[in-house]
């Protein structure tokens, strides 16, 4: 019997175990017989699993404080980027995606702050947390990060508009559709199937270098559509990447990174991880406004990952999973007994968020 949204069964968690296990297994399969390096893909899987588990645990014990702390840490890393983001490397002739990491961390920070503000019970704490969410947007302005300002602003606007809603399914569908549209558009650019006027306009925004990297990735994927070229081999095989001294050797897109590294199966698994996180949010016992805040942040991060190297940085990957875990945790303590029994799962925090 299917469980209603807002009540947790074991299905969502089981799906997560299967999907993450498949990601790790396929990374190894795609590396067999090649001079490939699957360690990065395995680290990403571990970061997602660890981040999500930490989010579920801390969200169950300290739903507001844990989200506020996650927002502060993500904001600190964004301010310290690129040097402060583990995995970032300065000094490249072409930026290796550090600005994408910073923007993604701002999106995570804004999402966590909005989750905390929505769940806060005391008016003073709620006001302070909403102000901190606005502060994340202002930080993006100070850092001169247009992508960060846009991502955090979208998250904040979604959080404010969802403050009174209870229907999460349509909003989460929207969170899934936005990255899907961006993914389809970027693939069309790489395959050169768009009208020349539209293609030229997008190339001017994306830069010719980035589009050339995407085209190399698609060409390499076509050589072996199922397994791809093997994990972390793009820098060895891409003519565009080799032409730039000191380039980071990445396709500057999570979609094309998966395409060239692990083929169509890897792309499907990447989409399944995102779908699983949204499914967890749909099944979450937390109130809908909290779920929507997290969903909007994940959608914004997914768009940034499609256009840059945001997911190449472990703090971004772990932070996104942590946020999903926070928003899908079953909060322990007084007032949540009814939710645990499946009677009225939204009452306690809904009252606190009004």
Residues 272-299: tens digit of each pLDDT: 999 999 999 999 999 999 999 999 999 9
In a domain, 258, yes or no: yes
In a domain, 320, yes or no: yes
Interacting residues of 282 by C-beta distance below 8 A, sequence separation 6+: 5, 168, 169, 172, 291
Question: What's the pLDDT score for residue 5?
Answer: 56
pLDDT tens digit sequence for 87-102: 444 344 444 445 688 9
Range from 83-92, 96-105, 187-196 that averages highest in pLDDT: 187-196
Terminal CA-CA length for the chain: 33
In a domain, 3, yes or no: no
Is residue 131 a contact partner of residue 83, using CB atoms and an 8 Å limit? no
> d(Cα 344, Cα 307) in Å, to the nearest integer?
41
Average pLDDT, integer, range 327-335 = 78
Taking the alpha carbons of 258, 262, 264, 266 in that order, is the dihedral positive or negative? negative
Considering only CA atoms, give the Rg of the chain: 20
In a domain, 338, yes or no: yes
In a domain, 52, yes or no: yes
> d(Cα 139, Cα 93) in Å, to the nearest integer?
26
In a domain, 4, yes or no: no
pTM here? Answer: 0.87
In a domain, 5, yes or no: no
> d(Cα 89, Cα 242) in Å, to the nearest integer?
18
Structural domain for 156, as ranges = 11-352
Poorest-pLDDT segment among 132-141, 198-207, 343-352: 343-352
pLDDT tens digit sequence for 22-42: 999 999 999 998 888 899 999
Question: What's the pLDDT score for residue 334?
Answer: 56
Question: What's the pLDDT score for residue 199?
Answer: 85
> d(Cα 296, Cα 261) in Å, to the nearest integer?
28
Of 82, 220, 191, the C-alpha closest to 143 is 82
> d(Cα 115, Cα 112) in Å, to the nearest integer?
5
Tally of domains in the chain: 1
Is residue 335 a contact partner of residue 341, using CB atoms and an 8 Å limit? no
Of 231, 244, 297, the C-alpha closest to 44 is 231
CA 54 to chain centre: 16
In a domain, 176, yes or no: yes
For the beta carbon of residue 22, count every other beta carbon within 10 angstroms: 17
CA dist 354 → 122, 139, 147, 161, 175 (Å): 10, 27, 31, 13, 24
pLDDT tens digit sequence for 292-319: 999 999 999 999 999 988 888 899 999 9
């Amino acid at each position: 019997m299917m469980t209603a949204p807002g009540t947790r069964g074991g299905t969502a968690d089981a799906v997560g175990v299967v999907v993450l296990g498949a990601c790790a297994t396929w990374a190894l399969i795609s590396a067999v017989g090649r001079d490939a390096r699957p360690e990065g893909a395995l680290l990403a899987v571990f970061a997602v699993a660890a981040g999500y588990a930490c989010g579920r645990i801390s969200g169950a014990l300290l739903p507001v404080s844990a989200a506020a702390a996650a927002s502060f840490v993500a904001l600190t890393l964004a301010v310290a980027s690129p040097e402060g983001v583990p995995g970032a490397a300065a000094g490249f002739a072409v930026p290796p995606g550090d600005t994408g990491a910073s923007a993604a961390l701002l999106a995570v920070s804004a999402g966590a702050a909005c989750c905390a503000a929505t769940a806060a019970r005391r008016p003073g704490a709620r006001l302070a947390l909403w102000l901190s969410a606005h502060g994340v947007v202002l930080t993006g302005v100070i850092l001169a990060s247009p992508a960060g300002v846009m991502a955090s602003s979208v998250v904040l606007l979604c959080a404010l508009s969802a403050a009174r809603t209870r229907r999460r399914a349509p909003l989460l569908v929207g969170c899934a559709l936005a990255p899907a549209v961006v993914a389809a558009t970027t693939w069309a650019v790489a395959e050169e199937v768009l009208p020349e006027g539209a293609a030229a306009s997008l190339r001017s925004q994306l830069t010719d270098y980035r589009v050339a990297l995407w085209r190399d990735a698609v060409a390499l994927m076509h050589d072996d559509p199922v397994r791809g070229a093997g994990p972390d081999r793009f820098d060895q095989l891409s003519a565009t990447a080799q032409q730039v001294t000191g380039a980071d050797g990445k396709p500057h897109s999570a979609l094309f990174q998966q395409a060239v590294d692990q083929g169509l199966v890897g792309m499907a698994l990447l989409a399944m991880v995102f779908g699983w996180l949204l499914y967890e949010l749909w099944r979450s016992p937390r109130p809908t406004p909290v779920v929507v805040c997290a969903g909007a942040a994940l959608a914004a991060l997914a768009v940034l990952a499609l256009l840059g190297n945001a997911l190449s940085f472990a703090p971004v990957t772990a932070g996104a999973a942590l946020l999903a875990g926070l928003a899908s945790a079953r909060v322990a303590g007084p007032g949540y007994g009814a939710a645990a029994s499946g009677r009225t799962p939204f009452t306690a925090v809904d009252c606190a968020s009004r």
